[in-house]
Amino acid sequence: MSFPNPLRTVDRINRAKTAAEWSAGNYHLATGEVGYETDTGRKKIGVGSAWNDTDYALIGTGIDNIIALTQAAYDALTPDSNTLYVITD
């Protein structure tokens, strides 16, 4: 079974700014877009919301992969503890 990967290279746009620049501009991140803070090393992965309304990503904390899938697809698999699953429906 194959699952969609929201971080395919063709879908991802990476942007890098300092934490202050991100916060002041409150830029919107498209779904799957990665925003990187150059001075802190922290990242946010877009869900279509503004920077200040988006939580920091878990990358670097044991999460090795992020997969978007439906609830039915998630229910049919055995979850991996190193993967963050994003339910899309």
18 found inside a domain: yes
Read off the pTM. Answer: 0.54
Confidence category of residue 41, pLDDT binned at 50, 70, 90: confident
Tokens of 12: 């991802």
DSSP label at residue 27 = P
Q: Which two tokens stand for residue 14?
A: 């990476």
Number of domains forming the structure of the chain: 1
> Which is higher by pLDDT, 55 or 84?
55
Tell me if 24 is assigned to some domain: yes
Query: Is residue 74 a contact partner of residue 58, using CB atoms and an 8 Å limit?
Result: no
On whether residue 2 sits in a domain, the answer given is: no
Domain range for 24: 14-87
Which has the closest alpha carbon to 58: 70, 47, 45, 71?
45
- Residue 85 and residue 69 in contact, taking contact as beta carbons nearer than 8 Å: yes
* CB atoms closer than 10 angstroms to residue 32: 20
